[in-house]
Amino acid sequence: MHRRDFIGSGGALVALSLMASTPAAKATPGEQSTPRPENKPVLKVKNIAIGEGQPKVIIPTTATTEKELIDFVGKAAAREDFHLLELRVDPLENATSAEAVAALTHKVSAMLGDKLLLLTFRTQAEGGKKAISDKEYAALYRSLLEKGQFDLLDIEMYRDRALTDPLIALAHKTNRKVILSNHELHATPAAPEIISRLREQQARGADILKLAAMPKMPADVLTLLSATLEMHQRYAQRPLLTMSMGETGVLSRMSGELSGSALTFAMLGDASASGQVDLEDLNSVLQILHKGMAG
């Protein structure tokens, strides 16, 4: 997605500003049911404050070999226009080798300096490159938490909770932050359902709450953004990461400072998901919006 594709996005932003509020979702067990105060939830990792100022930018890797990955990180690491690198494990040819991936995380982490390393195995069921059983998924993650070097771990919320809840605890024990994630590949849930899922992630101990959904029509994008705003204003005690996928959902990737989504993905080279925006283009738009909103 390049600069010329952003023409007309101002009208969409006006539409966003006119969104009606969404119905409040039901309280999740273990989570406070009253609206939170208006202070913004901020997560500080190293010197990066997630939830302050412009949305923090994540670039994902799409490499299939170690050489490709190291070459990509070597070229990207010196850039100053992103904050987190997502090491996507699932495209790698040795993705299920915990020893190989753990060793790779040490190499990548050393190259990134003050930038954050997010580790993600996106399962095929949620849009990733490889199918893996819940037991294999949990065993791989446990080994990586014990032997790897990274700052954040993406855990899919709908894998077996008996296996993944201990991973959340282990991540925190080893001083990692957890993104609990959910990807709806074929539709956009209703706003109360989106809020309910994000609140469930929060109640389960996630440090960042993530939901991505596929829009069938432009109104679905506004549903996602409206639900994000409702969650941010009323219930969020953790930073949010939400997006509407595909070309139709591109607005959601750059309007987080308005809707309350504290992070966004951009592509440097190949995209890891449909609708991702070129890194330089995205930063240009984020800066324009930030300047305009700052008055």
Q: What is the pLDDT of residues 103-133, one digit of tens each?
A: 999 999 999 999 999 999 999 999 999 999 9
Is 218 a domain residue? no
Predicted local distance difference test score (pLDDT) of residue 9: 45
Highest mean pLDDT among 32-41, 203-212, 281-290: 203-212
Is 157 a domain residue? yes
Question: In angstroms, what CA-CA distances link 284 with 105, 148, 277, 291?
Answer: 30, 34, 11, 11
Question: In angstroms, what CA-CA distances link 208 with 29, 45, 292?
Answer: 18, 12, 26
User: 113: domain CATH number?
Assistant: 3.20.20.70
Is 27 a domain residue? no
Is the distance from CB of 117 to CB of 154 less than 8 angstroms? no
Give how many domains the chain has, as a whole number. 1
Task: Give the position of tokens 């951009």.
Answer: 266
E strands present in 132-262: 152-156, 177-184, 208-213, 240-244
Is the distance from CB of 294 to CB of 282 less than 8 angstroms? no
Q: Average pLDDT for residues 156-163, to the nearest whole number? A: 97
Is 28 a domain residue? no
Is the distance from CB of 60 to CB of 269 less than 8 angstroms? no
Reported as a pLDDT band with limits 50, 70 and 90, residue 11 is very low
Is 129 in a helix, a strand, or coil?
coil
Is 242 a domain residue? no
Q: Average pLDDT for residues 214-229, to the nearest whole number? A: 97
Predicted local distance difference test score (pLDDT) of residue 30: 52
Task: Give the position of tokens 């991936």.
Answer: 101
Active site residues per annotation:
183, 210
Q: Could you list the residue range(s) of the whole structural domain that residue 175 is in?
A: 39-180+256-294
Amino acid symbol at 123: T
Is 194 a domain residue? no
Reported as a pLDDT band with limits 50, 70 and 90, residue 260 is very high
Q: Average pLDDT for residues 277-287, to the nearest whole number? A: 92
Look up residue 33 and give its DSSP letter: -
Q: What are phi and psi of 164, to 5 degrees?
A: -90, -30
Amino acid symbol at 112: L
Residues 200, 182: Cα–Cα separation, whole Å: 11
Is the distance from CB of 252 to CB of 243 less than 8 angstroms? yes
pLDDT at 279 over 50: yes
Is the distance from CB of 112 to CB of 85 less than 8 angstroms? yes
Is 13 a domain residue? no
Is 235 a domain residue? no
Residues 289, 295: Cα–Cα separation, whole Å: 10
Q: Average pLDDT for residues 82-111, to the nearest whole number? A: 97
Which two structure tokens, joined as six digits, stand for 68?
Answer: 């490709």
Q: Which residues pair with 48 in a beta bridge?
A: 45
